[in-house]
A = this chain, B = another copy of it.
Amino acid sequence: MNETDGQTTDRDDARTASPATAQNSGTGTLGKALSVLETVVTSDTPLRFSDILVLSGQPRGTLHRQLSHLVEEGLLVQGRDLCYEPGLRLLKFAYRSWSKNQFRAVAAPHLRKLHEETGETVHLGVLRGTEIIYVDKVESRQTVRMESQIGNASPVYCTGLGKAALSVLPPGRLAETLGKLTFHRFTANTHLSAASLKRDLDEARLRGYAFDREEHETEIRCVAAPIHDAGFDLVAGISVTGPAYRVTMEQLEIWANPVRQAAMAISEDVEIRLGPGR
């Protein structure tokens, strides 16, 4: 019944590989602590101390103190089986973070409109590094739970939102982002190389919208259009998603226009309401 969970294999993190010259983040102590936190939080399985030990590559004593601090702060909790789990303080932070998100608020009415036009699920996602973070959604059927994808992070290269966002990046930033990608096969259609992805992006750029042809999940298709501000500080996308049996590629072509219009309307509102520049 409920489930969610999804996938999102983003196993980056944990720069274990290079103990020597590990190239520590620029943010010193905080960065290291967050890196540990992220390892725990994004793991698909519960982690014990020594699991984290190998993933993080830190010395025992150091890691132990970092974890203790994270627990003291309520960002992690340790169950009686000694496994570390995400703590409630994270939820609290996120609620505030989400409810105050200006971009989401500005875009919300457009999402609803697009949903009314198409009848399928509409997503809003923001580009962050090599990931798309889902920021809002309007669901078709009010299924079970709200536990929508909000906050979920999916790779750029296999989602409509991701490809739409990438397609408008200035060449420099695009190259930089592509360079950081590591590909993972989710379905038979997943892009597995930068070259293949780049061709797809070129088409998307010309058309003004991108598809997901069951590249992330089988039986799931979507069409997405890019949103960005003048300075490309904000790069995002809006999409309509549906099951393949109900949503043909022809249907997606038809929806492409409304999706683009919604995207453009949001882009405009962003410039107006969040101020030029930003």
Contacts and interface: CB of A to CB of B under 8 A. Distances in A.
Interface of A: 1-6, 25-31, 33-34, 37-38, 41-42, 69-70, 72-75, 79-81, 85-102, 105, 108-109, 112, 126, 128, 131, 133-139, 142, 144-153, 274-275, 277-278
A58 to B, nearest CB: 14
Contacts of A274: 79
A98 B30 contact: no
Most chain B beta-carbon neighbours within 10 Å: one of A73, A88, A102: A88
A274 B46 CA distance: 13
A199 B133 CA distance: 47
A271 to B, nearest CB: 12
B27 A89 contact: no
A95 B19 CA distance: 30
Contact of A28 (B69, B134, B153): B69
Contact of A86 (B5, B41, B100): B100
A92 B2 contact: no
